[in-house]
Structure 1
Amino acid sequence: MSETELQTPIGVLSLKRFPIRAADRLRAWDAADELLINHLYQQPNLFGGKIRVLVFEDQFGAITCYLRKAAIEQGGSVSIDVMTDSLVSQHAIRQNLADNGVDDTHCTIQFVDNTLTPTKAYDLVVYKLPRNHGYFSDVMQRLRDCMTQSTNIVGGAMVKYLPKTVLSSLENTVGPTTTSLAAKKARLIFSDFNSSLKPANPYPTTYNIEEIGVELSNHSNVFSRDSLDIGTRLLLAVMPESDDPLTIVDLACGNGVIGVSAAQLNPNADLIFCDESNMAVASARVNVERCLPMRKTEFYHTDCLAGVAPNSVDLVLCNPPFHQQNAVSEHVGWQMFKESLQCLKSGGELWIVGNRHLGYHIKLKKLFGNATLVDSSNKFVVIKSVKR
């Protein structure tokens, strides 16, 4: 079997990781996906009638593709709602569904907004445990409105990412929870719905940022949702300012704090906020509408800078991520730097803050031909590159 072929009890699934990279040796599934698929296969009459399924945080589509193929092969009638925060995951799921060549005769698939609560009751809720456990708790609490005593609730996780606090949280949020024995360093998680529980959901959260005098709202999967991170704090202290009519991009905007600060220091600038996280864009929109009610702003739920015209912006500000889910990787930051170069006007600037050890100045100098250290701390650096 190749690195893109997953053997399942009903045949092979062809699955690719996104974004697609040459010589990428990481697979688009893990042992937890395999456990979930084998468990679902062993359920008698899973597709015996018309059932409603919610799939939560299926990163690249292994679970969704299996359910769709199984429903069609077994002749059931299944509607699958897919909930994920990541636009890249949505792209991956759509493309992997298409690559596996099954039609919609017996199975319909719809993506649902993870900031909202679906209005239907589900027969099956199946999930992969996300990296952010606060996000997981938030979503599971809202999904209580979609569960009944007969809802089958099952998740999968790699053992090293499954602390006991997650299980106790499920006990208090959904109901009695158990796990399977570990296999290939993964476990299944089983919960029974308890209708008498009344958990309190703290999200969205808010906190004040004294440096710029604003209060920001944060959905549960937003980076630094509880307090301002020290890297961004360093960037805010040295932000560029001008009275010129600029176009400024807050790339990987999170809750929008960098863009809001840039708007304060650049009163004649138009702002663009970009993030591939749905919750980030939703949080930034709320914060900008409250803090900058009269400013011209645009919001892009997009992969890096996709959709922003080449040679159209004056300044890109960014605190780039260096991981994708549980995999540490610099490829997202590298993609952001390359697309920033394309979108900047001649003379435009990219300002980034990053961990000192990542060596971003080397990448920026290779791309832009220049990289200036603006400020630094023990852990972080702020670097500026200019498009010549």
Structure 2
Amino acid sequence: MSDFSFDRLRRYPDVEADNLFAVDASDRLILDQAADALGPAEAGEVVVLEDKYGALTLGAAALAAARDIRVHQDALSGELALARNAAEAGLSDRYRSLELGEDLLVNARVVLMQLPRSLAALDELAAAIARFAAPDVVVIAGGRIKHMTTAMNEVLSRHFGSVSVSPARQKSRVLTASVPLLAATDGAVWPQFVVHADLGLTVSAHGAAFAGTTIDIGTRYLLEFLDRMKPDAQAAIDLGCGTGVIAAALARRRPRLCVIATDQSAAAVASARATMAANELLDQVTVVRDDALSSQPDASAELIVLNPPFHIGSSVHAGIALKLFDDAGRVLRPDGELWTVWNTHLGYRPALTRLVGTTHQVGRNSKFTVTVSTRR
């Protein structure tokens, strides 16, 4: 017998705080709207996408007796949280995590999804469902109204012949899509590629990768300091690598430097690998999916480069940056350097000094500050 309660779900190892929650009203609404579809579903016919911390997967398993649920979560922290919550509820044998692709979606008849905020991410997910799922698949996708737009309906309508909108409940809403349009998937090619001639790099991106094939202005500013970043380093880490721009630029500038590019996002990791392949850097750059730097040993890195996020999901919160700073401090060798770019108003310098070591400002423009922190 499962011991399941929404109230017992945790976000760990993601950041936990009084104003951050592992389940919300949209999870409950999705499950309620999906009840009729889940009832007759056979083992292996239910797929869950972008489950935050396990509410959809474990709710379907415990409340609707769904079995062999296939799950894909972009964030590794969400994947790890689901595993912990499933073990706590005695439901670990009811699901399996898979990469986005045919194995995840083949013959799926019910898809539960937390809507991603990125329209490109939604487009890639919707195209994959339409391509691989059963012809009678029903997609029940929900979110908080404040993060939903009518453009999401338009994206789903490109891939499905029927899209309907539920009434609002507790500031949440559900979109239900069915009748996949297979012809629409022909033009949905992921990852995408763009050549940035000014940097001599080709950037690749899947839909959920931050900034897509563009290069955000914080990263561009940090790139101006590449030659000053611990010139004698033999190995470097691009922490929170996104599409791999910094790692690729470092490797291109320093052909003898070994680089690890790491991110917790499955889309970012796939994008970074494609970026390295496009720039013929696969022999020099190793791309790893990791929760911060949990797979890296203490005092093992000479140089870490970081453009930290300041959002946790849809919430502006410093917790994720502080977690990355703390792990960077653990992994850096004595006298190792952490180079960080951040929005000046965030005032990260005291935290960097506390968690890493002596921190100096090396650059500042109208929006961003670049600092170097030297490990004690």
TM-score of the aligned structures, taking structure 2 as reference length = 0.91
After superposition, what is the alpha-carbon deviation per residue over 1:265-314, rounded to whole angstroms, capped at 9, x for unaligned? 33322111110011211221222234244744322210111111111111
Distance change (3 Å), C-alpha of 1:49 and 1:234: closer
* Structure 2 partner of 1:201: 188
Does the aligned pair in 2 maintain the 1:175–1:197 contact within 8 Å? no
**Whole-Å separation in 2 of the counterparts to 1:376 and 1:44:** 55
Match among 232, 235, 241 for residue 253 of structure 1: 241
* Long gaps (5+) in structure 1: 1-9
The structure richer in helix per residue is: 2
Structure 2 counterpart of 1:57, one-letter code: E
Distance change (3 Å), C-alpha of 1:11 and 1:256: closer
**Whole-Å separation in 2 of the counterparts to 1:22 and 1:158:** 20
Does the aligned pair in 1 maintain the 2:117–2:148 contact within 8 Å? no
Counting only pairs closer than 5 Å after superposition, residues 314-353 of structure 1 correspond to structure 2 as 314-353=302-341
Does the aligned pair in 1 maintain the 2:105–2:133 contact within 8 Å? no
* Structure 1 partner of 2:369: 381
* Structure 1 partner of 2:68: 79
* Structure 1 partner of 2:84: 95
Match among 263, 268, 278 for residue 266 of structure 2: 278
Identity rate, percent: 27
* Structure 2 partner of 1:65: 58
* Long gaps (5+) in structure 2: none
Does the aligned pair in 2 maintain the 1:17–1:60 contact within 8 Å? yes
Structure 2 counterpart of 1:38, one-letter code: D
**Whole-Å separation in 2 of the counterparts to 1:286 and 1:202:** 13
**Whole-Å separation in 2 of the counterparts to 1:202 and 1:276:** 23
Structure 2 SS opposite 1:254: coil
* Structure 1 partner of 2:48: 55
* Structure 1 partner of 2:31: 37
**Whole-Å separation in 1 of the counterparts to 2:364 and 2:83:** 42
Distance change (3 Å), C-alpha of 1:222 and 1:196: closer
* Structure 1 partner of 2:217: 230
1:123 CA displacement: 1.5
Distance change (3 Å), C-alpha of 1:242 and 1:265: farther
Structure 1 counterpart of 2:89, one-letter code: N
1:26 CA displacement: 2.3
Distance change (3 Å), C-alpha of 1:359 and 1:124: same
Determine if the alignment matches structure 1 residue 182 to structure 2 residue 168.
Answer: yes
Structure 2 counterpart of 1:229, one-letter code: D
* Structure 1 partner of 2:116: 130
Distance change (3 Å), C-alpha of 1:136 and 1:15: same
1:209 CA displacement: 2.5
**Whole-Å separation in 2 of the counterparts to 1:309 and 1:11:** 35
**Whole-Å separation in 1 of the counterparts to 2:17 and 2:342:** 26
Greater CA drift, 208-217 or 196-205: 196-205
Distance change (3 Å), C-alpha of 1:21 and 1:317: closer
**Whole-Å separation in 1 of the counterparts to 2:284 and 2:38:** 54
**Whole-Å separation in 2 of the counterparts to 1:186 and 1:308:** 39
Does the aligned pair in 2 maintain the 1:154–1:190 contact within 8 Å? yes
Structure 2 SS opposite 1:192: strand
Structure 1 SS opposite 2:287: strand
Determine if the alignment matches structure 1 residue 269 to structure 2 residue 237.
Answer: no
Greater CA drift, 179-188 or 369-378: 369-378
After superposition, what is the alpha-carbon deviation per residue over 1:165-186, rounded to whole angstroms, capped at 9, x for unaligned? 1101111212221111111111
* Structure 2 partner of 1:288: 276
Determine if the alignment matches structure 1 residue 214 to structure 2 residue 201.
Answer: yes
1:54 CA displacement: 0.7
Distance change (3 Å), C-alpha of 1:366 and 1:175: same
Distance change (3 Å), C-alpha of 1:44 and 1:306: closer
* Structure 2 partner of 1:7: none
Structure 1 counterpart of 2:160, one-letter code: V
**Whole-Å separation in 2 of the counterparts to 1:260 and 1:103:** 38
TM-score of the aligned structures, taking structure 1 as reference length = 0.89
**Whole-Å separation in 2 of the counterparts to 1:146 and 1:210:** 36
1:12 CA displacement: 2.9
**Whole-Å separation in 1 of the counterparts to 2:136 and 2:222:** 51
**Whole-Å separation in 2 of the counterparts to 1:149 and 1:231:** 44
Match among 177, 180, 198 for residue 191 of structure 1: 177
Structure 2 counterpart of 1:64, one-letter code: T
**Whole-Å separation in 2 of the counterparts to 1:115 and 1:98:** 26
Structure 1 counterpart of 2:140, one-letter code: V
Structure 1 SS opposite 2:18: coil
